Amino acid sequence: MTLNIIDWLSLGIVAFFGGIQFLRSLDNLSLIFYETIGIIFACYLSNFIFKNFSYNPFFYLFSFVIILVFVFFLARFLNNLFSFSFGIFTYFFGFFLGIIFGWALCHAVLKTILIFSRNNPELIYLYKKSIFVSQILFFGFFKELLAFLTNVRHNIFRFN
């Protein structure tokens, strides 16, 4: 299976912004934690607003940017009040927070491209053939991981 341009774009976004967030987390893990929670909230809320109030592509992009700016200011405020670090585990948590941040940002970028170009059959074909789009847009990996962990939890507490 080969990677198409959408796969390379996805990998680039996740790797680049995940790496930046990882390097930033070495200095201030709590800020990266708050920013990651904020971008997840911005993705969720802008998707909710787009589906329930307006199917205008500019409205999606505008709501995402406004919410993201607000949550970044809120992240700075919360970081000034409740700053924390985990010592040597900062590397571990910073790595995962960086990947999650890049994943959420890639979700927003892919969703924006799809919304603006939904009538382009070539782009739809690239999205269908992409390895990463189903994982990033529809959170396929996280759903599979939750299903696996649920199965493990039920098997651990089963006393036969």
42 CB contacts (<8 Å, ≥6 apart)?
A: 64, 67, 68, 71, 108
Where are the domains positioned within the chain? 5-156
Whether 99 contacts 14, CB under 8 Å: yes
Q: How far apart, in whole angstroms, are the C-alpha atoms of residue 129 and residue 8?
A: 13
Q: Which residues of the chain have pLDDT under 70?
A: 1, 139-142, 152-160
Whether 30 contacts 84, CB under 8 Å: yes
The pTM for the full model equals 0.83
Look at residue 2 in the predicted model and tell me its pLDDT.
Answer: 79
Look at residue 7 in the predicted model and tell me its pLDDT.
Answer: 87
Three-class SS of 43-70: HHHHHHHHHHCCCCHHHHHHHHHHHHHH
Look at residue 35 in the predicted model and tell me its pLDDT.
Answer: 94
Look at residue 125 in the predicted model and tell me its pLDDT.
Answer: 86
Look at residue 157 in the predicted model and tell me its pLDDT.
Answer: 59
Q: At what angle do helices 5-25 and 90-116 cross, to 10 degrees?
A: 140
Look at residue 78 in the predicted model and tell me its pLDDT.
Answer: 93
